[in-house]
Amino acid sequence: MTLKLTVEPADGLVDEPRRITLTGLAPDQLVAISARTIRGGDASWMSQATFMADENGTVDLTRDAPVGGDYAEVAPMGLIWSQLPDDGKSADMFPDDVMAPLRTVLTAETDEGETTEAELLQRFAASGVERREIRDEGLVGTLFTPAGEGPHPVVTVLYGSGGGINEPRAAMLASRGYQAFALAYFKAPGLSPYITETPLEYLETGLRWAHRELSPKNGFVAVSGQSRGGELSLLLGATYPELVSAVIAYVPGAMVHGAQGAGDPARGGWQGVTWTMGGVPLEHLWNNNKAVHWHPWGGDAPPTRHHSVFFEGLKDRELAARARIPVEKIDGPVLLISGRDDRAWPSSLYSKMVVSTLRRHNHPHPVRHLDFDDAGHAINLPIVPSTQITRIHPVSKVPYTNGGTPSGNARANDGSWEGMLAFLDEVTGTSRAGR
């Protein structure tokens, strides 16, 4: 028999699992399958795993675990989430142009040297999704509009301490029926390269623009952000409850924090002010904290558990009370997403603190908390590499750890995406069939 490698479907959205099968082998024959993807820039990411064929000479990744390689469980898309950059350091896993698909070449090779290939395409933007750069009223962002007639519910999408415009998540939200406004607030054209002293009024302008210009269905404008963007999402919901219909906070902080690794060294660095309102700095956890005598961004120990400094910071209870985000002022549903092995900061604890506060205040809207085992700080889109446990921060250039395991992070990527879509469907009254 001739080797045949099949991907079904070969072309689809990033969040669509595929069935990868190989036929034409001898019973019990070993075969190596590799996956190579060109991701950000010219960076090539690759994984490989070895399988043993069944009695019919077939390998089916929905059924078969590898006998060796870059992952070690039954995982239909394990060859994607276990990928690492060939150069060992490239951080960008998303293409510069999210309207173009990611192309993965799968290659199967037997120990006799027989080979076969197949192609797998992952798209961020479904057919009919439109992309438009927004440069109105000082705003810097990108709008993604779903195919089909509106109006559509709107989600404002915020990145974390790496800054920039989160186009991949916004494109995927539009592909699933939500108008998505990816809004930068620093480290983007025309904006500060640092998070230091970001005015909340800029975000208020973005929210008002979305309400006025996007004609959101039933006036629904949610805010979704990750890490510092998760902190910011909770803060915006508490500060502008009339403008925020729902909050989706990925690995968030429950406190206002200092600028940390995204801070301007000339304006306080790690301990600088992050958010201002009316020109006045918002109190933050690193403002002369009496309990903290070290910090991870200076290379002080323990370097692999940055979240430890946040536990120390909370011991200054008077300051923590002043820096706490008053989430009880949020006037809408709240979804919190966290990893129990988050080593960048304690997002699981922070999320539980938010849930507890909302419960004590008899929050009248749905509150959901998705807390994932073996997952760290980098909870991302589904079916993308989940191997970036240790990284160099894109602003400070200081090494840090996200935590989690590749397998646990992959499960959190899948589960959080499905949970987030289910949450949005629930609170907007959108049916899956109606997307």
Residues with a known catalytic role: 227, 342, 377
- Strand pairing category for 115-123 and 59-60: unpaired
What one-letter code names the amino acid at 418?
Answer: E
Alpha-carbon span 361 to 101, nearest angstrom: 46
Map residue 185 onto helix, strand or coil: coil
Single out the residue of 322, 325, 186 nearest to residue 263, CA to CA.
Answer: 186
Beta strands 399-401 and 390-392, pairing class: antiparallel
How would you class 318 by CB atoms within 10 Å of its CB: exposed for 0-12, middle for 13-18, buried for 19 or more? exposed
Backbone dihedral angles phi then psi of residue 261, each to the nearest 5 degrees = -70, -10
> For residue 221, what are the CA distances in angstroms to 152, 229, 374?
10, 16, 32
Which residue, among 272, 335, 284, has the nearest Cα to 310 in the 3D structure? 284
User: 308: which residues sit within 8 A by CB, 6+ positions away?
Assistant: 302
DSSP per-residue codes, 382-403: SSS-----EEE-TTT--EEE-B
3-class DSSP state of 142: strand
CA 72 to chain centre: 24
**Is the separation of the CB atoms in 194 and 262 below 8 Å?**
yes
Which residues are CB-contacts of 226 (< 8 A; sequence separation ≥ 6)?
158, 159, 160, 166, 250, 251, 252, 379
Nearest CA-CA partner of 222 in 176, 173, 184? 173
Per DSSP, the three-state class of 5 is strand
Grouping H, G, I as helix, E, B as strand and the rest as coil, residue 279 is: coil
Asked if the peptide bond before residue 406 counts as cis, ω within 30 degrees of 0, the response is no
Residues belonging to the chain? 435
